[in-house]
Amino acid sequence: MVIEKLDYGKDLILEIEKVCKRRNIKTGWFNAIGALKNVTYGFYDQKLKEYKKFLHKNPCEITSCIGNVSILEDKIFIHAHINFADEKGNVKGGHLYKGDIFAAEVVISPYDKILERKFDEITGLKLWDSGEK
């Protein structure tokens, strides 16, 4: 298990990716808590097969951020979802695109198998080609 504090002002996804590269983690599971200065998140429209993007411009608490690490086109790919609370305690969430870190701590559990993503015709998403069954 890998535990790290992530850097102030950096992007949450890119920082998790950096930790994985530095620690040679190609597949794994993670969660993160902390606070962001802003967050860009999305909702996948299952009929249109495309993401709608939303920007929350203000500081928020990460109430939950979970995701996984796998390989997409020979590169490490971070897939994360986030819930965040605004200054009134309202929670929103979805697919995480980016977020500027105010403070963040991540715990990553590496897997010993490599998972690769491939385009999936039914969903239009790049999903795991394999998994444990």
Residues that bind Zn ion (CB under 5 A): 95
Please report how close the Cβ of residue 44 comes to Zn ion at its closest, in angstroms: 7
Q: Biggest alpha carbon distance in the chain?
A: 43
Of 106, 62, 102, nearest in space to 84 by CA = 62
Please report how close the Cβ of residue 87 comes to Zn ion at its closest, in angstroms: 26
Question: ∠ CA(98), CA(103), CA(107), 5° rounding?
Answer: 80
Smaller CB separation from Zn ion, 56 or 95: 95
Smaller CB separation from Zn ion, 26 or 95: 95
Smaller CB separation from Zn ion, 61 or 67: 67
Please report how close the Cβ of residue 72 comes to Zn ion at its closest, in angstroms: 13
Q: What is the DSSP string of 28-63?
A: EEEEEEEEEEEEEEEEEETTTTEEEEEEE-S-EEEE
Smaller CB separation from Zn ion, 89 or 131: 131
Please report how close the Cβ of residue 95 comes to Zn ion at its closest, in angstroms: 3
- CA atoms of 7 and 58, how far apart (whole Å): 19
Residue nearest to Zn ion (CB): 95
